[in-house]
Amino acid sequence: MAVEARAVMEGEGVPTRVVSLPSWRLFMDQDAAYRESVLPAAVSARVSVEAGTTMGWDRWTGEAGAIIGLDHFGASAPWATLYEQFGITSEKVVEAARGVLGS
């Protein structure tokens, strides 16, 4: 869904990148120059997408960013149904991106 959202944003003329950050610890083990090349401090318009908890993602999105995810558990259904029900969709990612951009 992040890649789909990127295609929409790029189609609107908004330069966009998708970063996969599966391990915060491994990312923090990298040198500062590498971390800066992946998540430049000058880029404050960030959206994280996490099917699990949103806890901790503010470290990577910053105060100006948006976080899409779940803060509860127990729902049971096919993943596509759950994602739609709980707003974890490419459309919601685009909406959040537009929001952090102020557009």
Express each pLDDT in 79-88 by its tens digit: 888 889 888 9
Structure tokens at 64: 């100006």
Dihedral of alpha carbons 96, 100, 101, 102, sign: positive
Whole-structure pTM value: 0.88
Domains and CATH numbers, the chain: 2-101 (3.40.50.920)
pLDDT in tens, 37-56: 999 999 999 999 998 889 99
User: Which pLDDT score, from 0 to 100, does residue 87 have?
Assistant: 87
- DSSP summary character for residue 48: E
